[in-house]
């Protein structure tokens, strides 16, 4: 268990440092119009790359959840024991917060760096209303996070199923997370992960912290829905047509 928890800590740390780090340090590098800035597409890809690389590095140790909503969703889907949920969630949040603290220290080394606690997406934080990059309302933000997380769990459970093509699960999961960011960065700055949201919100100011509740509730609800739906689909039962097993 200790090795599994360390792997979850490191994987979540890598996800937050890599994904949120790209948003804070590289998204607008050089100012508006500068070709060196990676923008929305680059940030989306960065989050996907952290999951791909982290899953290949740690998946065989801990399962590479790196996300409380994934851990809880896998429990709802019958893939993870309930006794391990709380330890996983705790170390995931710690990993996110440590990454946020290191990212803040790195970002503070640039001249003129400052966090505006009332700016949408400040320090890669998530938000709704005035704190949404596109000004999306609470209901739209909540629906987006629930649906995106539910679909993320469905992809995860499908890609890691015993009958799925071997060795490709990290790629499918990373590409799914990239797509999720391409869709939802304008809406909420994309959470689908309470540890990722917490890791930066604690340093982004009171407004981000005040809206953090949504980015715990909505992803967890979405994770449970996605896990339960995939389990209901019967994908974990023997693959049969009628009474004849497919071999």
Q: Quick check: 8 and 95 in contact, CB under 8 A?
A: yes
pLDDT in tens, 178-205: 999 999 999 999 999 999 999 999 999 9
In this predicted model, what pLDDT tens digit does every residue of 38-59 receive, in sequence order?
899 999 999 999 999 999 999 9
Total tally of structural domains belonging to the chain: 1
Mean pLDDT of 207-216: 98
Which band of pLDDT confidence, cut at 50, 70 and 90, is reported for residue 36?
confident
Residue 245 lies inside a defined structural domain of this protein:
no
Asked if residue 240 has pLDDT above 90, the reply is: no
Assign residue 162 the CATH number of its domain.
1.20.1080.10
Asked if the model's pLDDT at residue 177 lies above 90, the reply is yes
pTM, full prediction: 0.92
- pLDDT of 235: 52
CA distance 74 to 82: 10
Q: Give dist(CA 247, CA 237) in Å, integer.
A: 14
Per-residue model confidence (pLDDT) at position 182 = 98
Distances from the Cα of 60 to the Cα of 4, 93, 168, 241, angstroms? 9, 21, 13, 32
pLDDT surpasses 60 at 22 = yes
d(CA 155, CA 133): 26
- How many other CB atoms sit within 10 Å of the CB of residue 241? 7
Give a yes or no: residue 243 inside a domain: no
Q: Does 187 fall in a domain?
A: yes
Q: Tell me, yes or no, whether 241 lies in a domain.
A: no
d(Cα 18, Cα 49) in Å, to the nearest integer?
Answer: 8
Share of residues in the chain with pLDDT > 90 (%) = 85
Q: Mean pLDDT in the chain? A: 92
In a domain, 229, yes or no: yes
pLDDT at 167 (0 to 100): 86
pLDDT one-digit tens code per residue, 79-95? 999 999 999 999 999 99
3-state helix, strand, coil in the chain (%, to 5): 70, 0, 30
Residue 145's domain spans which residues? 2-236
In order of 50, 63, 79, 193, 203, the CA distances from 175 in angstroms are 11, 18, 22, 16, 28
CA angle (166, 89, 83) in 5-degree steps: 80
The per-residue pLDDT for 29 is 74
pLDDT band of residue 247 (cuts 50, 70, 90) is very low
Instruction: Classify residue 61: in a domain, yes or no.
Output: yes
Run of H or E residues at 138:
helix 138-159
Q: Tell whether 247 is covered by a domain.
A: no
Residue with tokens 């979540």: 12
Distance CA 238, CA 35 (A): 51
Is residue 244 in a domain? no
């Amino acid at each position: 268990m200790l090795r599994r928890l360390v792997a979850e800590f490191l994987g979540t740390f890598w996800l937050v440092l890599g994904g949120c780090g790209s948003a804070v340090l590289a998204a607008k590098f050089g100012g508006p119009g500068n070709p060196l800035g990676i923008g929305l597409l680059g940030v989306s890809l960065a989050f996907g790359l952290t999951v791909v690389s982290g899953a290949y590095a740690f998946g065989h140790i801990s399962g590479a959840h790196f996300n409380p909503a994934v851990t809880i969703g896998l429990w709802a889907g019958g893939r993870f024991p309930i006794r391990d949920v709380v330890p996983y969630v705790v170390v995931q949040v710690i990993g996110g917060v440590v990454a946020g603290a290191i990212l803040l220290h790195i970002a503070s080394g640039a001249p003129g760096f400052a966090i505006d606690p009332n700016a949408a997406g400040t320090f890669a934080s998530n938000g709704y209303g005035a704190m949404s990059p596109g000004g999306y309302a609470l209901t739209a933000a909540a629906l987006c996070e629930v649906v995106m997380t539910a679909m993320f769990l469905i992809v995860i459970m499908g890609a890691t199923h015993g009958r799925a093509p071997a060795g490709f699960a990290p790629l499918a999961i990373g590409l799914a997370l990239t797509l999720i960011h391409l869709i939802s960065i304008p809406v909420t700055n994309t959470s689908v992960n309470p540890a990722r949201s917490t890791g930066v919100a604690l340093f982004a100011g009171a407004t981000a912290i005040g809206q953090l509740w949504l980015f715990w509730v909505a992803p967890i609800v979405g994770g449970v829905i996605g896990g339960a739906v995939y389990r209901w689909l019967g994908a974990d039962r023997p693959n049969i047509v009628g009474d004849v097993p497919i071999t």
